[in-house]
Amino acid sequence: MWNSSAAGSLYISKEVKGVVEEEYSSRVIDGRSLAKKVEEEVKKGVEALKAERGITPGLATILVGEDPASKMYVRLKHKACERTGIHAEDHNLPASISQEELIAHIQQLNLRKDIHGILLQLPLPRHLNDKEAMLAIDPGKDADGFHPYNMGNLLIGNEGFVPCTPKGVIRAMEEHGIQIQGKHAVVVGHSNVVGKPMAAMLINRNATVSVCHVFTQDLKQYTLDADILVVGTGVKHLIKAEMVKEGVVVFDVGITEEDGKVYGDVDFENVIKKAALITPVPGGVGPMTISILMQHVLMAAKGTCKA
């Protein structure tokens, strides 16, 4: 049922090579190769848009403050823009900015004809209200898919701008021929960025979906029954081998940084021995998130996703 070679999973990154025994390497979903494929599609689309309509897609990223991880994610997004031919603008605002000033800044970007996508890097400093700020973004420029208009559309099955991480997971499933309909998909984590939109996307594809979170009693009871498991909690190695069944497909969306190393929510080294397919951290869902963002900026510039 699973197509482990479809998306070039023969290439294994050096981080993964270090922990995976040879016999399991074909089970690894290589997010970097998949992201490269998506970026190549975007690059072609950008070139065509420039040639046919003289439009260069433009993305404005807004980063409030100096959080090192957020700075790195914004940097990765700008590099992807460079690779795909998208114009990128860095709006680094001071941590002391008020809610009103932030909203005024977003409104200025809404008016700009050369800016097609606006991305507000999360998390914001605690004194700022992210939901209110998201609401200020023109839904037609909402490259992240977090505006309530786009979230509402997702819920009723109109998938336009949807959150990039879960869309990256769905794209990886498609590339590997993973059947979703009729399967039991278990989503661990109920954030607005990953868990809730992921559950909606799986429901839209006729999976039976369980959503587990920090208040779920007996998590293992759910994860053991999962055909598809998506985990995004930020708890390092929350999912152990004894919590999954043989043949499960696992998407690890968690990121924990410790002593300069990055860890996922899944005990990859051991879970891979039971999984049919699994994403590593790093090199799994993260790069897909960024490539889908590029896809959204192109969509916004083409006007194929109007609010």
Applying CB under 6 A, the residues found at the interface with ligand LMY7XDAE are 73, 76, 119-122, 144, 164-165, 193, 255, 262, 281-284, 286-287, 289-290
User: Least distance in Å: CB of 151 to ligand LMY7XDAE?
Assistant: 13
| Contact of 143 with 118, CB cutoff 8 Å | yes
Q: Is 255 annotated as a binding residue?
A: yes
Q: How far, in Å, CA of 19 to CA of 122, rounded? A: 31
| Contact of 42 with 84, CB cutoff 8 Å | yes
With CA atoms as reference, report the closest residue to 168 among 303, 21, 285.
285
- Which of residues 293 and 301 has its CB atom nearest to ligand LMY7XDAE in the complex? 293
Any catalytic annotation for residue 67?
no
| Cα 286-289-290 angle, rounded to 5 deg | 100
Q: Which residue carries 């009693």 as its tokens? A: 217
Q: Which amino acid appears at position 200 of this protein? A: A
Q: How far, in Å, CA of 117 to CA of 304, rounded? A: 13
Q: How far, in Å, CA of 294 to CA of 298, rounded? A: 6
- Which of residues 9 and 121 has its CB atom nearest to ligand LMY7XDAE in the complex? 121
Any catalytic annotation for residue 144?
yes
Out of 30, 138, 142, 144, pick the active-site residue.
144
User: Least distance in Å: CB of 285 to ligand LMY7XDAE?
Assistant: 7
**DSSP category for residue 125:** P
Residue 78, judged by CB atoms within 10 A of its CB (0-12, 13-18, 19+), counts as: middle
Q: Is 189 annotated as a binding residue?
A: yes
Tokens of 81: 């823009």
- Which of residues 166 and 183 has its CB atom nearest to ligand LMY7XDAE in the complex? 166
User: Least distance in Å: CB of 76 to ligand LMY7XDAE?
Assistant: 6
With CA atoms as reference, report the closest residue to 102 among 62, 156, 146.
62
Q: Which amino acid appears at position 219 of this protein? A: L
User: Least distance in Å: CB of 114 to ligand LMY7XDAE?
Assistant: 21
Q: Is 191 annotated as a binding residue?
A: yes
- Closest-by-Cβ residue to ligand LMY7XDAE is 286
Out of 77, 141, 196, 274, pick the active-site residue.
77
Q: Is 26 annotated as a binding residue?
A: no
- Which of residues 193 and 202 has its CB atom nearest to ligand LMY7XDAE in the complex? 193
- Which of residues 34 and 210 has its CB atom nearest to ligand LMY7XDAE in the complex? 34
Residue 206 backbone class (left: φ over 0; alpha: ψ -120 to 50; beta: rest): left
Out of 121, 142, 196, 274, pick the active-site residue.
121
Any catalytic annotation for residue 99?
no
User: Least distance in Å: CB of 36 to ligand LMY7XDAE?
Assistant: 13
Residues acting as catalytic residues: 77, 121, 144
Q: Which residues are annotated as a binding site for NADP(+)?
A: 189-191, 255
Q: Which residues are annotated as a binding site?
A: 189-191, 255
